[in-house]
Amino acid sequence: MSERTSKKVFSWTAVNTVIVIAALFPVLWILSLSLKSADTVTDGRLIPAKFSLDNYEGIFTGSGGDVFTKALFNSLGIAIIATLIAVTLAAMAAYAIARLNFPGKTVILTAALAIAMFPPISVVGPLYNLWRQLGLFDTWQGLIIPYMTFTLPLAIYTLSAFFREIPWELEQAAQVDGATPFQAFRKIIVPLAAPGVFTTAILVFIFAWNDFVFAISLTSTERAQTVPAAISSFTGASQFSAPTGSIAAAAVIVTIPIIIMVLIFQRRIVAGLTAGAVKG
């Protein structure tokens, strides 16, 4: 290895190390906080003097009762349902946009994008009133609907890009082979667009899972409160103690499903799946 390349490798390593540390240090700090007992939370050490799982025990079985478990259940349910519906609808819309020429196509795309341009905070007030009138306040549907609205535009854009990549001849070949348009969509297009579908699903899921603004405004009880909202209502053991340890523990727990989901779907996101379809 020449001196120049080793220098290059060294500087790359240095830069990457800095970035990784900067990105992961807060996570590490939260993890460390969650493992400290109440009396050492403020000691400022990265490695806890004494490892304790009290905080974790506390959020599942502590004085708050089952606030956290209920919230976890709500979060999972709402995020999964929102993801399923959003991806299914987006797939169909994106397919139409990618394949068909119909009047108003650009209007639909622009309108979808326009919706995503509103910051959530600007619609949350009206939604609060509206949901109370409609009886959707503090229900699962009350959160699923805004999550879908805000993720559909992105999902439609991502998926239509993936669908456009799939050669049209494949579908025509399927049609000639005797498939109905829906069969061609389900058996040829969707499997080939799988990486796109999973990418979209992850994005939608993360949005729904991490959302705080809608969750805190449109829910009030454990009926529909999701984890981010529930964490904010954590209280300390006494009036004068901050619930730092519990919050840290909850934050660690709440990232686990995301990590699992990404790990599972990452296997499905294989580049070059369409290789060999057509001679390019």
Smallest distance, another protein to C-beta of residue 256, A: 32
Residue (62 or 195) nearer to another protein, CB = 195
Q: Who's near 214: CB < 8 A, 6+ residues apart? A: 120, 124, 127, 143, 146, 147
Contact by Cβ (8 Å): 143, 224: yes
Contact by Cβ (8 Å): 227, 144: no
Residue (171 or 211) nearer to another protein, CB = 171
Matching residue, tokens 């506390």: 58
Q: Would you put residue 104 in left (φ > 0), alpha (ψ -120 to 50) or beta?
A: left
Smallest distance, another protein to C-beta of residue 104, A: 16
From the list 5, 24, 25, the residue with the least C-alpha distance to 13 is 5
Query: CA 124 to CA 211: how far, in whole Å?
Result: 12
Smallest distance, another protein to C-beta of residue 95, A: 17
Residue (143 or 189) nearer to another protein, CB = 189
Smallest distance, another protein to C-beta of residue 168, A: 9
> Tokens for 24?
């992961």
Residue (179 or 258) nearer to another protein, CB = 179
Residues forming contacts to another protein in the complex (CB under 8 A) are: 167, 169-170, 172-180, 183, 187-188, 191-192, 272-280
Smallest distance, another protein to C-beta of residue 192, A: 6
Smallest distance, another protein to C-beta of residue 175, A: 5
Residue (180 or 232) nearer to another protein, CB = 180
Residue 147: C-alpha distances to residues 190, 202, 231 (Å): 23, 13, 20
Matching residue, tokens 């805004």: 146
Residue (161 or 278) nearer to another protein, CB = 278
